[in-house]
A = this chain, B = another copy of it.
Amino acid sequence: MFVKSGALFSSRCSDMVLSMSSSRTARERVRAELTREITDIARSQLATEGAGGLSLRAVAREMGMVSSAIYRYFPSRDDLLTALIVDGYNAVGEAMESADAARPREDHTGRWLALCHAVRDWALAHPHEYALLYGSPVPGYQAPDDTIVAAVRGTLVYGRIVSDAHGAGSLTPPDICPPSPASFAEDAARVREIMPEVPDDVVARALIVWTGLFGWINFELFGQFKNTILDPAAAFDHSVRCQARFLGLPA
């Protein structure tokens, strides 16, 4: 009932095993089903209570199960959180992807703006989940590598925009920055896997702009702007437009 084709998906795939739906045995199917149900309930708890309010026992209760049964699916609370984080990264990543795809490929500035607003909109719609991804790491919890690779998905979109703009020759960054430090060359090379062909200087700017985007959203979402910004949407839009110019995108 979850794999109806055109249906609205309230759940997000997190487990490897889930991706190959209608798997062999009935037991495996119901296991996948239950796993998904657990993450769904957990996600709704996360949305209402925040990461700290996520309780395995409450999830079990809501499922009509006994708490110990949950441990057949997630060996610990942290593993559940990890699954939610991976889901979250995929969700923002998807939001970024479709926002980007909705713009003509050569409208680099428009793609960047759409990307930014997609992130902010998603963050406002899922504040606790956003906090889980881009806020402080959850107490006593160390992000496993799974989450890191999931986190890259959104960054890929960004990288493509920058790379496309550079490739099209429409990237004319203002000449205001000092040269990047020598130690940055290697980093830039690594980042270039995500935004090919882009010179070091632009890579550096791209990082600044990218962190600036999330820095702004964090401030807005985590209350640092309280009593300061009256029209957050407009201010945000202006901010990312400026960032675009700093990066070298056309107005």
Does A134 touch B at the CB level, under 8 Å? yes
**Contact mask A166-191 → B, CB, 8 Å, 1/0?**
00000000101110110110110011
Cβ-defined partner of A211 (8 Å) among B139, B219, B223, B227: B219
Cβ-defined partner of A214 (8 Å) among B148, B218, B231, B239: B218
Cβ-defined partner of A136 (8 Å) among B222, B239, B243: B222
Does A50 touch B at the CB level, under 8 Å? yes
Closest to A54 in B: B139
CA–CA, A238 to B228, complex, Å?
28
Does A65 touch B at the CB level, under 8 Å? no
Q: Is the CB of B211 within 8 A of A138?
A: no
Q: Is the CB of B183 within 8 A of A243?
A: no
A-B contact pairs, 21 of them (CB 8 A): A50-B139, A51-B139, A148-B227, A151-B224, A178-B245, A180-B238, A181-B235, A181-B238, A183-B230, A183-B231, A184-B231, A184-B235, A205-B242, A208-B216, A208-B239, A208-B243, A211-B239, A212-B212, A212-B215, A212-B216, A213-B215
